[in-house]
Structure 1
């Protein structure tokens, strides 16, 4: 599909010393900036089977922009199969992975890629990835889905079904927390039953000889509406709150939910997009499987009209920018 992917995975397997383009400035290094107090704050864990689940999600979205959910209804074997096929894809020979290489220069942003060639001019991040749409059917191009390992398509389709249900439920509860109808967010973002676009990503962070000097992903907020992430048991996700970086502790069986830019904007700032980053390990491979919930491309980025009525001003004005334009500007670091 594209040129040769220069992967971090291949680099890590033959590395003697850390290349200087991966070394972060002192003020960005994880060891120097992670909170190490005696009693660090913990992001909320929401039990979705309890009556107060909705109110706890709302509180977490306001205070943190991130929370973990348990008893979420996604079967453990479905998650395990998603993780299996992801691990096995990255264990394939490089020439096999190369068949699905991204080609950002031609506008092809789905497929297999790495930070090595796309971070021109910036410090590089210590990760490779696989990225493609999983819903709705009209947005899916199975040419970006690997033929190997066995069961890749079936695992992703099964997981997608659960993500469609779960993300709708989270959007409904966050809508209600704003005093809107339960379907208000989904209707605004989707404009119909199949308007929400779900993008599956597999992040691969190989062992790094000097993890205290690098980041697996630089600090950012997600440009989408919502992100639902499952990770392996190697720690690395961190979230910023009140000027400090906190580790997100692994909770077995939990899924991590991030509020993205579009919910922060639609809520007129009542909910906050989570500023987060990823660190890496010296001995172990870290992996994560985020699903990004995108509005339709023509969605107009703006606060919900009912949340700016009367004396409440709009905190965000993107001059009737569409989500497609917003995405292009953010990815390319252009003024919004």
Structure 2
């Protein structure tokens, strides 16, 4: 079947030290109103018993493949899982987040009715460590600000250059072909999702389905994004530098300077990283592609030098 009729869908789950959450995460996949065709779970060198919990839940599930590996990072784990999957479309789910019951059904319907769309993301609910819904707090307020800015933008490129309001790879549903064109997830620990999103905008049609909540994003003390704020800022600036090189025509239109420039100025002021960004653009110009650029920044000597100089 083609994806216009009944698209096949694989859910990929990169598991790392989420023993407290993995059962509810998997339950949210198994309880979908439109069942997925395949479940690929890879444990990325966890030190807890999360894989054992997952194995007990899925050992009799014919759609499931479970693997373990030495720790190598989220982006490599995602790329391996997607490479092993067989479906036309991929839904990512981090093992501390949850799908809403109609997530897959909604994405299937969108693809069937809009065959030009190759990437879907939707509304987000925020939950705490115990699964309780949050209506206020830092993450909720950040998402509200990001959504408000997006409404002012003529393109999603500008909106996502400001903030990744998609929030997480858990909110990403995309075609295998798009993943190939984007050359997979890049070697970034914190911003591989933002890079993939901005690269996807250059290749295919992205739909933001805000009419329905797709996922519940869990806020807890061990969220990866909270590990090292300086390195997070460096990766954000690197993705911005790459985007300004590769998406420049989509970010700034000479015929729309009066509307685009205030937004770009607001983005740059909010990041407060003009010197770092200019330096990263010079480094990006000396690299053959974004993969080489991000690999350069993963070198501890390079990243430490940039952090010491500009942060």
TM over 0.5: no
TM-score by length of 1: 0.26
TM-score by length of 2: 0.27
Question: Comparing both chains, which one has the higher relative contact order based on Cα–Cα distances under 8 Å and sequence gaps of 6 or more?
Answer: 1
Q: Normalized per residue, which structure has more helix?
A: 2
